[in-house]
Amino acid sequence: MLARLGKGEATVGELAQPLDMSLPAVTKHLKVLERAQLISRSKNAQWRPCRLEEAPLNTASGWIEEQRKVWESRLDRLEDYLHGLEKIERKKR
Amino acid sequence: MTKDEKDRELLLQREVPFARELVWKALTEPEHQNRWWGPDGFRNEGVTMDFRVGGAWTFEMVGPDGTRYPNHSVFKEITPSSRLVFDHGDGQRIWFESSITLQETGSGTLVILRHLFPSRESRDEVVEKYGAIEGGKQHLAKLEAYLKENLS
């Protein structure tokens, strides 16, 4: 599905056709992909075509914004890790 | 900060409820740093850290599909438990200067992160040359998270 979207926008019907999947099954998959921010779907058109989500990394502000997201989630993981590390360090004392 | 620096920097801060020495340890010791660096689905391999001013810190980020992304930084300032400054790049060139400052607060530590491109020109060059690579990396991380959520 993602490979097909890599070639450009597609409707649910176009995505389902080569996969031998029912439309509801494809729609369900698309919802998960949309939640994972891998794709986006047009809100206006009747057929709501899907496209691969790409960050605007070709602009400086877009790139810096993506780096901010990278570091926000890195700090999330650091905090999680520190919880465990603090317990280990306490035991040592 | 001068006005000119604003559009070539990333400034981020977060207070964490942990002692400053502990944050410093997790940040500067490879055995700890490897455990949270990420992104999800990525691991660091071949880490070398020559922890002194002028020393290099190198590793390869390996993506879920096996793609390797070289990281090469050189330390410029090391003030234990308080400030770490390094030039960050990929070994070919420097992308930006990264500084991490740790400040004690009443209830923990304030982590202040700053990335600063040396000039607008170098910022645009890095964005143009590496933007797509970084984008690919993040796309892979999202895909990995998606697969984990749905197939495990």
The radius of gyration computed from the CA coordinates of chain A, to the nearest angstrom, equals 20
Interatomic CA distance for residues B113 and B105, integer angstroms? 16
Q: Look-up: residue for tokens 């400086």? A: A60
Residue B10 has its nearest CB partner, among A54, A68, A75, at A68
Which tens digits make up the pLDDT trace of B65-84?
A: 888 989 999 999 999 999 99
Q: Look-up: residue for tokens 């993602």? A: A2
pLDDT of residue B1: 53
ipTM: 0.85
Residue A54 has its nearest CB partner, among B23, B25, B135, at B135
Most confident option among A4-13, B12-21, B115-124, B135-144:
B12-21
CB atoms A55 and B35 under 8 Å: no
Average pLDDT over residues B15-39: 92
Interatomic CA distance for residues A48 and A56, integer angstroms? 21
Q: What is the pTM for the complete model shown?
A: 0.74
With a cut of 90, say whether residue B18 has pLDDT above it.
yes
Neighbours of B83 (CB within 10 A): 15
What are residue A55's phi and psi, to 5 degrees?
A: -70, 150
**Number of residue pairs across A and B with CB atoms under 8 Å?**
98
Which tens digits make up the pLDDT trace of B98-117?
A: 999 999 999 999 999 999 99
Q: Which two tokens stand for residue B24?
A: 């410093």
Average pLDDT over residues B128-145: 73
